[in-house]
Amino acid sequence: MQVLIVLVICSLVVALGFLAAFFWSVKDNQYEDTYTPSMRILFDDNEITAQNKESKEIKK
């Protein structure tokens, strides 16, 4: 029974460690993506327009 208590305490310590690491990374803006929005404007939507043209030809 004592082993179970030790394992529960260890798992709580590990879980709190992961939670602290998550909050630390959010606080340091680790999840902010500043590169993709500036590059998104450079890409064309050719695939979407090609699919739309094919679907219009099929309907005729």
- Which pLDDT value is given to residue 37? 75
- Which pLDDT value is given to residue 35? 79
3-state secondary structure (DSSP) of residue 34: coil
Rounded to a whole number of angstroms, the distance between the first and last alpha carbons of the chain is 74
> pLDDT class for 2, splitting at 50, 70, 90?
very high
Domain coordinates in residue numbering, the chain: 1-58
pLDDT digits (tens, 9 = 90+) for 17-51: 999 999 999 999 888 887 777 787 787 766 655 56
Average pLDDT over residues 6-25: 98
